[in-house]
């Protein structure tokens, strides 16, 4: 805050006491907005050189720290110093709608932070589908339980793309086959029912989200393999089957 406003840090450790501070020691800003939870400084009068130097120091600390918590806090501090702070005010006609919008903004912010941390990959299940080739290579050289496990992993990697296609009333098997035949970012745009370059169309996923989802799925699967029994919900019959049964009953 002192660097941002051009003021001095007043602290006993630095040999300065608050009662001895003079007007020249205080920082300046065009506007300061203070609430019980936040302090927002607009157009602080700190020098560009001092702010740049502090930003370099924070970047060095971010690279050196081994704590994820400290790294996140240092990044927040760096963003505030470098002007990377935005205030988004969410409003709506009703409280429930406002909560839904706020949740959507929170999800978007979390996804953005994840993308900044590890980058992005094509969405629509394509990134996981591209990993199937590596699994196929392992399957060719394996046998027994290891082969069975790899086959299960392969099906799991195909599941997101298959589900997206089926949610759009398209045959998942056909979509998966066509996406695997394609190269690069070629994938299925469910909203338009077309095959496009997913990156160019803005259909993306944060790499971190995809990675953690896969790691957690494998972890849960490993736990299930060590259990003697599991409790699951009975799958509900599909509408098509229900319609067929009704037609059969009428006959």
Rg (CA), the chain: 27
For residue range 89-129, list pLDDT tens digits in order.
888 889 899 999 999 988 988 888 888 888 999 999 999 99
- With residue 162 as reference, give the H or E element that holds it: helix 144-167
Q: What is the Cβ-side half-sphere exposure of residue 191, based on CA atoms within 13 angstroms?
A: 7
- Which sequence spans correspond to the domains of the chain? 2-81, 122-232
pLDDT value at 42 more than 90: no
Burial of 122 (C-beta count, 10 Å sphere; 0-12/13-18/19+): buried
Average pLDDT over residues 44-66: 88
* Pairwise CA distance, residues 251 & 243, whole Å: 12
pLDDT value at 82 more than 80: no
Tell me, which fold does domain 2-81 have in CATH?
GroEL (3.50.7)
pLDDT reported for residue 160: 93
pLDDT value at 240 more than 60: no
Q: Give every CB contact of residue 44 below 8 A, 6+ residues apart in sequence.
A: 4, 5, 6, 27, 28, 29
Neighbours of 47 (CB within 10 A): 10
The yes or no reply on domain 122-232 and CATH 1.10.560.10 is yes
* 63 neighbors 40 (Cβ within 8 angstroms): no
For residue range 156-208, list pLDDT tens digits in order.
999 999 999 999 999 999 999 999 998 889 999 999 889 999 999 999 999 99
* 6 neighbors 30 (Cβ within 8 angstroms): no
* 178 neighbors 142 (Cβ within 8 angstroms): no
């Amino acid at each position: 805050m002192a660097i941002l406003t051009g003021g001095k840090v007043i602290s006993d450790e630095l040999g300065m006491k608050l009662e001895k501070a003079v007007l020249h020691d205080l920082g300046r800003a065009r506007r300061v907005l203070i609430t019980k939870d936040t302090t927002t400084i607009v157009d602080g009068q700190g020098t560009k050189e001092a702010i740049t130097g502090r930003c370099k120091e924070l970047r060095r600390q971010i690279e050196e720290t081994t704590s994820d918590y400290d790294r996140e806090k240092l990044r927040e501090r760096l963003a505030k110093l470098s002007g990377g702070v935005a205030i988004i005010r969410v409003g709506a006609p009703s409280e429930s709608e406002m909560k839904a919008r706020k949740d959507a903004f929170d999800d978007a912010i979390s996804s953005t932070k994840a993308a900044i941390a590890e980058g992005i990959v094509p969405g629509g299940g394509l990134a996981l589908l591209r990993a199937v080739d590596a699994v196929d290579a392992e399957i060719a050289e394996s046998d027994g339980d290891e082969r069975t496990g790899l086959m299960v992993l392969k099906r799991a990697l195909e599941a997101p793309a298959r589900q997206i296609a089926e949610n759009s009333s398209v045959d998942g098997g056909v979509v998966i086959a066509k996406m695997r035949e394609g190269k690069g970012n070629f994938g299925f745009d469910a909203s338009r029912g077309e095959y496009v370059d997913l990156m160019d169309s803005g259909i993306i996923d944060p790499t971190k989200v995809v990675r953690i989802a896969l790691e957690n799925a494998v972890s849960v699967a490993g736990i299930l393999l060590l259990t003697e029994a599991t409790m699951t919900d009975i799958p509900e019959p599909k509408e098509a089957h229900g319609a067929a049964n009704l037609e059969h009953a009428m006959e």
